[in-house]
Amino acid sequence: MDQEDTIIAPATPIGQSGIGIVRMSGRRSFSIAKKIFRSSNGSRVNWSSTFRTHHGWIVDPENKETVDEVLLTIMHSPKTYTREDIVEINCHGGSIPLRKTLELGLKLGARLAKPGEFTRRAFLNGRIDLAQAESVLDVVQAKTDKGLMIAVNGLKGKFSQKIYSLKEEMVDLVSCLEAEIEFPDEEIDSPSRTAKKKQLKRILTKLDSLIEMGETARIYREGLKAVIIGRPNVGKSSLLNALLDRERAIVSCIPGTTRDTIEESINMKGFPLCIIDTAGLGKAKNVVDQEGIKRAHSSMDQADIIFLMVDGSLPLTEEDELLFQKTRGKNRLILVNKIDLSQRIDRQKMKTLMPQDVIIEISATRGTNLEKLKEVTSELILKEIVLSPSSPLLINVRQKNVLEQAKKSLLRALEASREGIPEEMLVLDLKEGLNSLGEITGETTGEDILDRIFSNFCIGK
Ligand SMILES: Nc1nc2c(ncn2[C@@H]2O[C@H](COP(=O)(O)OP(=O)(O)OP(=O)(O)O)[C@@H](O)[C@H]2O)c(=O)[nH]1
Ligand SMILES: [Mg+2]
């Protein structure tokens, strides 16, 4: 990926919209734009003036054909998204004007940007660090208001600051130790062994709290999963539709209506909850049923919470009881559905079989007790996750793994300091830890990892 190239890409989705933006970054952005842009009032454009927007036309320099009416913005390096010269062209939002403008740029020497290449340049040119670059994706993909708020914290560099301050403390410790190793006979004003151990422990505690934060972050980033299971026809799809407030899944009085799993997301108290409707669990009549049941089971294994549904208007069956057994010990909520009909289910037996469980009576079609269901769900799911009221940070899996690695190195260092092992070893462990932390902010991140991170972005970001 050559940084010398001038890159171009659509920055808005291809389709019909108010405007569609093509953006170009790199040394040749202005010279390419000059060849295809005609200012509307015939006056000459002042290309040396930054953050200026001009009204005019994109014209094919070869056949003089006008492609679109546009607004063109000139942005001079280094105060731009990539720190390079940038031209942004606001076309009318249709796929053809956007594509034709893009093609003209390509013909004149720009290269189509790879996914995330604009942000990668912002990182490589030092405008943002890697953790901030990853936050850009979190902002784009935020599913709730709260998720957005904490993604923006990352973008502002709040997570990076924590890493830098941890690194600073570690560097201090390393320089102290190195001075002692190099000048063993000199009187160096350095902290005692106990003080160093204390310092190490302090750093470890901070690292631990960051790792913990990663778990909280997971629910804001990826959301949590709830799976609805139960016998055929108990009303699972009706509940999915009621929670979504739209007719997403087919509902019918014929048992076995849902064959495949259906996943949809709702906003549950600020975090995204993915609800999975599944095929009814019972005797499979054919291979399709079998596959549906297999999928329902695998969804159940991945779920953070199980909604186990029974039909209140019918007596309990063996299949219901089998499901009570299968889900024992899992994070589950028992739902008795169809309470608007006359009731035949044996509630006493359910209580005896599941004395510890919360049982909620609902009517999916009438919407009865759905608010209560949401409240209990969020309590159940969030009970082990302490939501920090101040500014929590999003920490992704990659970053969490790196933090774990750094923790291992620091634990080794602590061990070394305890057993009176030569201080050189301690320094090695600390340096390894520093190296790991550098992978979060990007100082020590390999090309392959960068490729993987930025390939998740869209083209034009
Ligand atoms: N009276 C009443 N009927 C309901 C309620 N919930 C669902 N039903 C009806 O029960 C039937 C089955 O509903 P579905 O939502 O398709 O049931 P399901 O569990 O998804 O069924 P499968 O996909 O076959 O496993 C439909 O006729 C619904 O209208 C309810 O709360 N009250
Ligand atoms: Mg269904």
Same domain, 254 and 363: yes
Same domain, 234 and 357: yes
pLDDT in tens, 352-410: 999 999 999 999 999 999 999 999 998 887 765 555 545 578 888 899 999 999 999 99
CA of 143 to the centre of ligand 1 (A): 29
Read off the pLDDT of residues 203-248 as tens digits, 9 standing for 90 and up: 999 999 888 887 777 777 778 899 999 999 999 999 999 999 999 9
The predicted structure's pLDDT at residue 72: 98
- Residue 423: CB atoms within 10 A of its CB come to 18
Q: Chain-wide mean pLDDT for the chain?
A: 91
Tally the domains of the chain: 3
347 in any annotated domain: yes
Q: Which of 27, 19, 33, 21 is nearest to 3 (CA)?
A: 27
Domain membership flag for residue 451: no
The answer to whether the CB of 105 falls within 8 A of the CB of 32 is yes
Q: 246 and 346, same structural domain?
A: yes
Alpha-carbon gap, residue 458 to 434, rounded angstroms: 31
Angle at 305 between CA 209 and CA 293, to 5 degrees: 135
Q: Could you report the per-residue pLDDT of 98-145, keeping only the tens digit for each?
A: 999 999 999 999 999 999 999 999 999 999 999 999 999 999 988 888
**Residue with CA at minimum distance from ligand 1 atom 23:** 258
For residue 166, is it within any domain?
yes
Is the pLDDT confidence value at 2 over 90?
Answer: no
**Is residue 26 part of an annotated ligand binding site?**
no
Please tell me if the CB atom of residue 364 comes closer than 6 angstroms to any atom of ligand 1. Answer: yes
Q: Are 243 and 366 part of one and the same domain?
A: yes
Distance 229 CA to ligand 2 centre (A): 10
Same domain, yes or no, for 33 and 78? yes
Nearest-ligand number for the alpha carbon of 335? 1
Contact 110, 183 (CB under 8 A): no
Residues 381, 383, 387, CA angle at the centre, nearest 5°? 95
Q: Rounded to 5 degrees, what angle do the CA atoms 217, 218, 222 make?
A: 125
Domain co-membership, 206 together with 285: no
* Ligand 1 atom closest to residue 341's alpha carbon, by position in its atom list: 1
Q: How far is the first Cα of the chain from the last one, in angstroms, to the nearest whole number?
A: 16
**Same domain (yes/no): 161, 187:** yes
pLDDT band, very low/low/confident/very high, at 1 (cuts 50, 70, 90): low
Whether 387 and 146 have beta carbons less than 8 Å apart is answered as no
438: Cβ contacts below 8 Å, ≥ 6 apart: 167, 444, 445
pLDDT, position 384: 53
Query: SS3 of 13, please?
Result: coil
- Looking at the CA of residue 258, tell me the nearest atom of ligand 1: 23
Q: What is the mean pLDDT of residues 24-43?
A: 94
DSSP assigned state of 59: E
CB 111 within 8 A of CB 6: yes
Q: Which domain holds residue 403?
A: 135-218+396-441
Please report, for the domain that includes residue 418, its CATH number: 1.20.120.430
The 3-state DSSP class for residue 51 equals coil
235 C-alpha vs ligand 1 centroid, how far in Å?
3
| The pLDDT of residue 343 is above 90 | yes
